[in-house]
Amino acid sequence: MSVGAILCSLVVVSARNPVVSVLSLLGSFVCLAVIYLLAGFQFMAAAQLLVYAGAIMVLFLFVIMLLNLGNSAEESGPLDRALLRARRMPVVLAIGAAVFLLTLFGIETQQTVMAADPELVERGVSSLSGLAELMFSTYLLPFEAASVLLLAATIAVIVLAKRGRTQLVADTRTEVTP
Amino acid sequence: MSMILIWLLITVACYGAVIGTAALMTFAERKVSAAMQYRYGPNRVGPFGLLQPLADGVKFIFKEEVIPAGANPWIFKLAPILTALPAMLAIAVIPFTGVIGTFEGTEVLGSIANPEIGILYVLAVTGVGVYGAILGGWASNSKYSLLGGLRASAQMVSYELSLILAVLAVVATTGSLNLHEIVAGQSGWFGWNVFSQPLAFVLFLVCSYAETNRHPFDFAECEPELVGGFHTEYSSMKFAMFFIGEYTAMVVMACLTTTLFFGGYLVPFWADAPWWMGLIAFGAKTSFFLLLFIWVRWTLPRFRYDQLMHLGWKVLFPLALINIFVTGLVISFGPGAN
């Protein structure tokens, strides 16, 4: 499954068609969900599918289709394309290495957390009630902070969208009046 | 060894029942619509035309398969599979009946699998179903298909929210995500969730019609405007796959309505009914909701698209939120609170 996830992620960055990229990202998410499931985290797996695969990727797909990006690489010649790829390669590698290191770091921390608090494993992060109990007692502050952050992001998006629209209206008015 | 045999039997029985019902629904759809319009409907193949779905299936298999020029062949082929697969996956956790018996120390339940997160699993896999429509519409390289796919995705994403919130209210009253426990929580006089959560039931029903792309929300197809919507360019068995997916999703939704709001396999006024009575009760309740699907389709006109979005975001979504809020209040401070 992890091999599948890695293959899918490789296709995400290498595919020339943006829709194919989105689809392979979806595949990688599904692989991740299965990994969660194999590790015993049923709720995490379902949430992964429900939120990422079911909602967020649909929005991605939606936007890409509406923007009609097309195949950007097809317009240039094969030599240009190869050059472009060669130029992108270090960036991609750097990001990949960073993500890899972060993941290693994450696994390390998780193991230390698990080792430090055997009760955590015992009470069962895998079961839903155990997870909810932890989330609303020990980790209440981070949870609330994350929700406030998300709320702030939502409000910011609304404000930005509104400003864009009022400016548009103002522009059309100035065009009409003279 | 024989435990595996029993599991196999249950799996085959469940899938056979649901897909068989889905096939019969295509027949029932035509027969009921005919009755409502004072026509005969299909009556040539078999007794009362009952074998019509088989004849349709054979015809689909022998039809020529056309992939339009300029279509993306891989995604074009993937889309029908993605439509049919989620509905098929969701069948696995539906509780058709209670405990059938004890075998080698293990209780045999009337469902293929019984995970702790049952209802979340159903929501997760059916949520993936939108890809079939959106990818089918995009890969066909046709403007009607693309419009159909876009409409389908926008609609399904909007209504999925209200659907999940409606289910959440039921989960809150039951205190479990497990479908068998949700059913068990509805026993007794007026124990069905439809009595304690009438608003959630109405929301769920409306949203399930939108989720399955049925009338009055069938904007993905919308014959007068978009020819056939996202499956305009499909032919032969791929077209049939879309239909199988759609009808299986309908059966799954009817099963879910029964399970969540109408006591599932519980027989009214008979607390310790045998498991086969539960199966009959479940079948009867589900059949009613399947009939309702057809009934609504041939009675109501289609919405306009902006009306659909208005209804989804400005009526159903706030109602669902208020419902959750009130449910939470009653659970925390109501008569049963501790």
CA distance B24 to B49: 11
Average pLDDT of chain A, as a whole number: 72
Q: How far from the centroid of its chain's Cα atoms is residue A127's Cα? A: 24
Q: At A178, list the tokens.
A: 């003279």
| Residue B215 forms part of a structural domain | yes
- pLDDT value at residue A166: 64
**Residues A53, B127: C-beta atoms closer than 8 Å:** yes
pTM: 0.79
Q: Which CATH class is domain A1-73?
A: mainly alpha
Instruction: Check pLDDT > 70 for residue A136.
Output: yes
**Residues B134, A43: C-beta atoms closer than 8 Å:** no
| Residue B121 forms part of a structural domain | yes
Percent helix / strand / coil, chain A, rounded to 5: 85, 0, 15
**In contact, B108 and B101? CB cutoff 8 Å:** yes
The per-residue b/e assignment along B248-266, b for 16 or more CB within 10 angstroms, e otherwise, is bbbbbbbbbbbbbbbbbbb
| Residue B338 forms part of a structural domain | no
For B289, the domain range is: 2-333
- pLDDT value at residue A112: 58
pLDDT in tens, A29-67: 888 888 877 777 777 788 888 888 777 877 777 777 777
Q: At B144, list the tokens.
A: 């009607």
**First CA to last CA distance, chain B:** 47
CA distance B2 to B9: 10
- pLDDT value at residue A88: 66
CA distance B239 to B230: 10
CA distance B164 to B198: 15
| Residue B13 forms part of a structural domain | yes
The per-residue b/e assignment along A134-159, b for 16 or more CB within 10 angstroms, e otherwise, is beeeeeeeeeeeeeeeeeeeeeeeee
Question: Sorting pLDDT into bands at 50, 70 and 90, what band is A177?
Answer: very low
* Most confident option among A111-125, A156-170, B317-331: B317-331
Helix (H, G, I), strand (E, B) or coil at A97: helix
**Residues A19, B153: C-beta atoms closer than 8 Å:** no
Q: What is the pLDDT along chain B (338 residues), one digit of tens a residue?
A: 577 888 888 888 888 888 888 888 888 888 888 888 888 878 887 788 788 888 888 888 888 777 777 777 788 888 888 888 888 888 888 888 777 777 777 777 777 777 778 888 888 888 888 888 888 777 777 777 777 777 877 888 788 888 888 888 888 888 778 888 888 888 777 778 888 888 888 899 888 888 887 777 776 666 666 666 677 777 777 888 888 888 888 888 898 888 888 887 887 777 777 778 888 888 888 888 888 888 888 888 877 778 888 888 888 889 999 988 988 888 888 776 55
> Closest to B120 (Cβ–Cβ): which among A23, A46, A58?
A46
| Residue B199 forms part of a structural domain | yes
| Residue B91 forms part of a structural domain | yes
Instruction: Check pLDDT > 50 for residue A178.
Output: no
**In contact, A30 and A49? CB cutoff 8 Å:** yes
Q: At A132, list the tokens.
A: 């909810």
Tell me the Cα Rg of chain B: 21
**Residues B177, A128: C-beta atoms closer than 8 Å:** yes
Instruction: Check pLDDT > 70 for residue A108.
Output: no
Q: At A8, list the tokens.
A: 């899918």
CA distance B185 to B98: 13
CA distance B179 to B182: 5
* Most confident option among A85-89, A137-141, B66-70: A137-141
CA distance B231 to B144: 9
A55 to chain B, any CB pair closer than 8 A? The answer is: yes
> Closest to A54 (Cβ–Cβ): which among B116, B127, B150?
B127
A65 to chain B, any CB pair closer than 8 A? The answer is: yes
- pLDDT value at residue A87: 65
Identity of residue B124: A
Among the ranges given (A90-104, A148-162, B30-44, B144-158), the one the predictor scored with the smallest mean pLDDT: A90-104
Interface test mutation site (partner A, options B130, B141, B155, B167, max chain A beta carbons within 10 A): B130
**Residues A128, B124: C-beta atoms closer than 8 Å:** no
What is the number of domains present in chain B? 1
**Residues B127, A62: C-beta atoms closer than 8 Å:** no
**In contact, B168 and B145? CB cutoff 8 Å:** no
Cβ-based neighbours of A4, under 8 Å, separated by 6 or more = A27, A28, A31
CA distance B244 to B248: 6
